[in-house]
A and B are shown apart, each in its own frame.
Chain A
Amino acid sequence: DIQMTQSPSSLSASVGDRITITCRTDQSIDTYFNWYQQKPGKAPKLLIYATYNLQRGVPARFSGRDSGTDFILTISSLQPEDFATYYCQQSYRNIRFIFGQGTRVEMK
Chain B
Amino acid sequence: QVQLVESGGGVVQPGRSLRLSCAASGFTFSMYGMHWVRQAPGKGLEWVAVIRNDGNDKYYEDSVKGRFTISRDSSKNTVYLEMTSLRAEDTAVYYCAREDDETSSVGDYYYYIDVWGKGTTVIVSS
Q: Are A46 and B46 in contact (CB under 8 A)?
A: no
Q: A-B pairs with CB below 8 Å: how many?
A: 59
A95–B109 Cα gap in the complex (Å)? 12
- If over half of A's interface residues share one DSSP class (helix, strand or loop), that class is named, otherwise mixed; here it is strand
Interface residues on B, range: 20 to 34
Known contacts A43-B118, A43-B119, A97-B35; is A87 also within 8 Å of B44 by CB?
yes
- If over half of B's interface residues share one DSSP class (helix, strand or loop), that class is named, otherwise mixed; here it is strand
Nearest-Cβ distance from residue A42 to partner chain B, whole angstroms: 8
Number of interface residues of A (CB under 8 A): 24
Q: Are B112 and A34 in contact (CB under 8 A)?
A: yes
Residues of chain A lying within 8 A (CB to CB) of residue B45: 36, 38, 44, 87, 89, 99, 102
A94 CB-CB contact with B under 8 Å? yes
Interface residues of B (CB under 8 A from A): 35, 37, 44-47, 50, 59, 61, 95, 102, 104, 109-114, 116-119
Q: Which 6 A-B pairs have the closest CB atoms?
A: A43-B116, A50-B110, A49-B112, A97-B47, A102-B44, A99-B45
